[in-house]
Structure 1
Amino acid sequence: MLRSLLYVPGSSPRFLEKAHERGADAIIIDLEDAVAANEKDAARAALARTVPMVGQRGAAVIVRINTHDETTMLADASAACEAGALALYIPKVSSPEVLHQLDRHLEPLESAANRPPMRFAPLIEDPAGLLNATSIATGPRVFALSAGGEDLATSMGAQPTPEVLRIPKLMIHYAAKAAGVLSFGLLRSTADYADKTALAAAISEAKDFGFDGATCIHPSVVSLLNDGFAPSAEELDRARRLIAAADAAAQAGIGAFTFEGKFVDLPIVTRARALIARSSG
């Protein structure tokens, strides 16, 4: 499970050195918005050191690259690949073409390094990307989709309120689920990380909708994400009991049955099995 994905500025030694202590399932080393223009080259060059450093306790290491120009994009991707990062977070993806370009660029580098192929998590941040979400989700190497709420609202001349972001984020979420890839996000902007009560409610809502996890920009949110997106002990216990009842019913030649006062049929059993599988995956 990738429940929590913590952004860390690629130009901040203080945050990078402590990132592995935060308990996040994944660390996203950010070369894009969190890094000043005059520090981007140094942050990229440092990946050879920072990628293994932030991943030393087993967190998946992902690099958010720049896509504002081709030269910088490919240089960022090359450095992330050579440093051993698992995946790229690719901002401002409006169509699958950029994914195909990166795929072609990385293949010979991966072959020369004898390393597994990197995976892609496109960030959809404008209306064109939103309307192309289905084709982006089925692009090469994609393992997850996410919405960039602040940029998406800005590109529409809108405010990043829950009402504005809800439908676009759900559209991207549905595209991810249709393609069988992970879906990261909350149905609101994550810029206000201080309101823990509102964040906990948003995480619970996102879990109900089937989101797999979410990114955060502050370490204090990591535990909320880990707890909120993980199945609770009560949920797991009930799922195991339901599966046992379903297996017994199947042995007796019974399809639908009643479990703890509620009607149960195949979709409900399938959901319980999926819950168990996610918790042990």
Structure 2
Amino acid sequence: MRSKLFVPGGRPELFAKALAGPADALSFDLEDSVPADAKARARDDVAAFVASPAMRRAAKLAIVRVNAPGSAWFEDDLRAVMVPGLALLNVPKLESADAVRAVVAAVERIESSGGHEAPAGLLVNVETPRGLEQAAAMAAAHPRVAGLQLGLADLFEPHGIDRGDAAAVHAAMFAVKMAAAVAGVFAVDAAFAAIDDADGYRAEARMSRRLGFIGKSCIHPRQVALANEVFAPSPEEVAYARRVVAAATEAARAGHGAFSLEGRMIDLPFVKRAEALLASLG
């Protein structure tokens, strides 16, 4: 999931266009982009499109960001969007493992009522100071948690933190990646509001890739190509990973757990990284 494109749930005329584009994942938004008086219609439109033959045939992940637990729309969102084809249920404003487990309980209540298909997993937003503090606990709260998604606007803006401070961005990214690593789930990077600032988007994306994030959110189609470019392994990286795996195989045959390759000492953590990169190629 190099690129995850947010699609406003209240704009059904954009759904097919987004599906035809190059984003790896489509994240249909029922939260911030949809006003209160349009949420019921948006919910129905999104559910119908996610379950449509076109969406299910596409080689894309279908994600729906529902309204926050405790809101007037949360339960109705769940009942509507738990349809065949939904890959990830994106849940905002969570701040504890108990809150994650409460979402799971709500999902299971709907499942037990019949007629609903369970989502493949939960994508938990980390977008508040308390959420950042509890990120590792949330990642490990339940097997349904597939990944953590960083939300820098919500995390920074209310508290006067400068998004232009690379050290602050790095600190938040590192914390979320380490929290995801505790539970063995993925981390996906935040959206970037400056649509015309390709260099700024690229810089954040490169930072998050160096920190082990799998991809970055996009709020405009023009950002998708940037994310795909940054998070695609280069031919040199792929070739080196293949050399590492091949050398590790030879070393294992010789009974060695560590070996030297091109002037560098290689052991199991480096082999695992190379294997993961090659596995990501499909």
Q: TM-score, normalised by structure 1?
A: 0.89
Q: Alpha-carbon deviations, 1:184-224, whole Å to 9, x = none?
A: 116xx611132223323332222121111111111112122
Measured in 1, the distance between the counterparts of 2:271 and 2:46 equals: 45
Relative distance call for 1:48 and 1:274 in structure 2 (3 A) is closer
Counterpart for residue 217 of structure 1: 219
Q: Alpha-carbon deviations, 1:202-259, whole Å to 9, x = none?
A: 3222212111111111111212222321222221112112222222233233443332
1:269 maps to which of 262, 268, 271: 271
Q: Alpha-carbon deviations, 1:9-34, whole Å to 9, x = none?
A: 00112321211111211110001111
- Tell me the C-alpha RMSD between the 2 structures: 2.2
Moved more, 268-277 or 160-169: 160-169
Alignment of 1:221-260 (within 5 A): 221-260=223-262
Does residue 1:157 correspond to 2:156, yes or no?
Answer: no
Relative distance call for 1:193 and 1:177 in structure 2 (3 A) is farther
Counterpart for residue 280 of structure 2: 278
Q: Alpha-carbon deviations, 1:64-111, whole Å to 9, x = none?
A: 111163431111111111464222111111112332222122224335
Counterpart for residue 148 of structure 2: 145
Measured in 2, the distance between the counterparts of 1:269 and 1:164 equals: 31
Does residue 1:72 correspond to 2:80, yes or no?
Answer: no
Letter in 1 for 2:187: S
Shift of 1:262: 2.6
Relative distance call for 1:66 and 1:117 in structure 2 (3 A) is closer
Contact 2:9 2:43 in 1 (8 A): yes
Contact 1:107 1:117 in 2 (8 A): no
Q: Alpha-carbon deviations, 1:28-56, whole Å to 9, x = none?
A: 00011111222112101222322135724
Alignment of 1:53-64 (within 5 A): 53=52, 55=55, 56-64=57-65
3-state secondary structure, aligned to 2:28: strand
Relative distance call for 1:269 and 1:74 in structure 2 (3 A) is same
Contact 2:259 2:267 in 1 (8 A): yes
1:192 maps to which of 177, 190, 194: 194
Counterpart for residue 174 of structure 1: 178
Counterpart for residue 43 of structure 2: 44
Measured in 1, the distance between the counterparts of 2:157 and 2:51 equals: 35
Letter in 2 for 1:183: A
Letter in 2 for 1:181: V
Measured in 2, the distance between the counterparts of 1:160 and 1:91 equals: 20
Counterpart for residue 85 of structure 1: 86
Percentage of matched positions with identical amino acids:
36
Letter in 1 for 2:237: E
Letter in 2 for 1:12: R
3-state secondary structure, aligned to 1:40: helix
3-state secondary structure, aligned to 1:41: helix
Contact 1:230 1:279 in 2 (8 A): no
Counterpart for residue 127 of structure 1: 129
Contact 2:67 2:74 in 1 (8 A): yes
Relative distance call for 1:259 and 1:116 in structure 2 (3 A) is same
Relative distance call for 1:259 and 1:82 in structure 2 (3 A) is closer
Relative distance call for 1:271 and 1:32 in structure 2 (3 A) is same
Contact 1:124 1:146 in 2 (8 A): yes
Structure 1 spans left out of the alignment, 5+ residues: none
Aligned residues: 277
Structure 2 spans left out of the alignment, 5+ residues: none
Q: TM-score, normalised by structure 2?
A: 0.89
Moved more, 196-205 or 210-219: 196-205
Alignment of 1:99-110 (within 5 A): 99-110=100-111
